[in-house]
């Protein structure tokens, strides 16, 4: 399968859902965008890495990893978004130390936050871009398409509401403890941590 290089266009936020962000990736040799819903912490970490002039007083988690890797001569060579399952993107970090290459599984938001800090290229497979990449119809006279990106985030959130996780703990009240534990394990396996937190809260109430 052929790899397609991606650039980071930026981070957009939802106009209707507080704390909902999307990382917008651009196809380097094309016009498609790959939007990925991410959490607020990861959005902050990526935004700080994009803004070279901003330096937090204490290292964030991804900065700590970079300092740790530098100390032990570990280099991130590239990040590959290699799988898309039920709307969840899976990524691999390709690392190298002493000319030995290792592949590490990672959440896509974490992988990209680290790729920025190591100035490592980001790739995905053509079939993933064919499946999830989109074209945005932008008015050519409008230099700032951030509003379109915000609408895009809202559309992504709406899609998740239709196909994915329940957003209210009321949906869990009819479930038994055993069923909730199974759902919790599935949510963690699918990296749906927002859903996992709601299920955990419901279990705690019991």
Give me the domains of the chain, ranges plus CATH numbers. 3-164 (3.10.690.10), 168-205 (no CATH)
Tens of pLDDT along 121-137? 999 999 999 999 888 65
Ranges under pLDDT 50 in the chain: 138-140, 142-143, 161, 163-170
**pTM for the full model?**
0.70
> Looking at residue 137, what is its pLDDT?
52
Rg (CA), the chain: 18
Residue at token pair 């299920």: 199
Which pLDDT score is estimated for 57? 82
Structure tokens at 160: 């998740």
Whether residue 116 contacts residue 46, with contact meaning beta carbons closer than 8 Å, is answered with yes
What per-residue confidence (pLDDT) applies to 200? 81
Closest CA to 10 of 152, 156, 146: 146
How far apart, in whole angstroms, are the C-alpha atoms of residue 17 and residue 200?
A: 22
Going from the C-alpha of 133 to that of each of 29, 98, 110, the distances in angstroms are: 13, 36, 20
How far apart CA 6 and CA 43 sit, in angstroms, is 18
What pLDDT, in 10s, does the model give residues 175-199? 888 888 888 888 888 777 777 778 8
Question: What does the pLDDT read at residue 139?
Answer: 47
The DSSP result for 101-112, as a single string, is EEEEEEEHHHHH
């Amino acid at each position: 399968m052929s790899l397609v290089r991606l650039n980071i266009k930026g981070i957009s936020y939802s106009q209707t859902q507080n704390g909902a962000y999307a990382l917008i990736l651009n196809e380097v040799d094309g016009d498609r965008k790959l939007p990925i819903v991410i959490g607020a912490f990861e959005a902050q970490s990526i935004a700080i890495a994009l803004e070279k002039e901003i330096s937090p007083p204490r290292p964030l988690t991804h900065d700590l990893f970079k300092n740790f890797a530098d100390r032990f001569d570990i280099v991130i060579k590239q990040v590959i978004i290699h799988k898309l399952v039920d709307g969840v993107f899976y990524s691999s970090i390709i690392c190298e130390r002493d000319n030995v290459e290792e592949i590490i599984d990672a959440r896509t938001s974490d992988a990209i936050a680290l790729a920025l800090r190591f100035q490592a290229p980001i790739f995905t497979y053509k079939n993933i871009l064919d499946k999830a990449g989109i074209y945005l119809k932008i008015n050519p006279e409008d230099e700032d398409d951030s509003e379109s990106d915000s609408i895009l985030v809202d559309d992504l959130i709406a899609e998740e509401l239709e196909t994915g996780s329940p957003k209210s703990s009321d949906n869990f009240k009819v479930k038994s403890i055993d069923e909730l534990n199974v759902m919790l394990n599935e949510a963690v396996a699918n990296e749906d941590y927002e859903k996992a937190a709601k299920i955990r809260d419901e279990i705690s109430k019991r």
